[in-house]
Amino acid sequence: MHYPYLTTGLPGTGGIFKESPEDFEVTEIPLYEPCGEGEHTYALIEKRGLTTLEMNRRLARALEINERDIGYAGMKDAKGITRQTVSLKGTSPEQVARLEIPNMKVLSARRHGNKLRLGHLAGNSFRIRLREVCSDAARLAESCLDVIMTRGLPNYFGSQRYGVRGNSALAGLKLLSGDFAGAVDAILGNPDDISDERWRSALQAYADGNAALALELFPPHCRTEKELVKVLAKKPGEWERSLKSVHPKIIDLYLSAAQSQLFDLTLAARIDTLARISVGDIACKHANGACFLVTDEPEAAARAAAFEISATGPMFGKKMLIPQSAPAALEERILAEAGLERSIFNNSGRFSLDGERRPLRVQLKEPTVVLQDNGLLLEFSLPKGSYATTLLREIMK
Give me the active site residues, please.
77
Q: How far is CA 13 from the centre of its chain?
A: 24
**HSE (side-chain half, CA atoms, 13 Å) at 84:** 35
* Long-range contacts at 365-370 (CB < 8 A, ≥ 24 apart): 365/123, 367/145, 367/149, 369/138, 369/141, 369/142, 369/145, 370/138
Cα–Cα separations (whole angstroms), residue 362 to 24, 254, 359? 21, 25, 7
Say whether 27 sits in a helix, a strand or coil.
strand
Residue type, 274: L
CB atoms closer than 10 angstroms to residue 120: 19
Cα–Cα separations (whole angstroms), residue 64 to 55, 91, 95, 110, 378? 14, 9, 11, 19, 39
**HSE (side-chain half, CA atoms, 13 Å) at 236:** 6
Contact 216, 233 (CB under 8 A): no
* Nearest partner of 320 among 301, 337, 335, judged by Cα: 335
Per DSSP bridges, beta strands 153-154 and 291-293 are unpaired
Between CA 89 and CA 68 the distance in angstroms is: 9
Contact 295, 278 (CB under 8 A): no
CB atoms closer than 10 angstroms to residue 334: 21
Between CA 391 and CA 16 the distance in angstroms is: 14
Between CA 108 and CA 369 the distance in angstroms is: 29
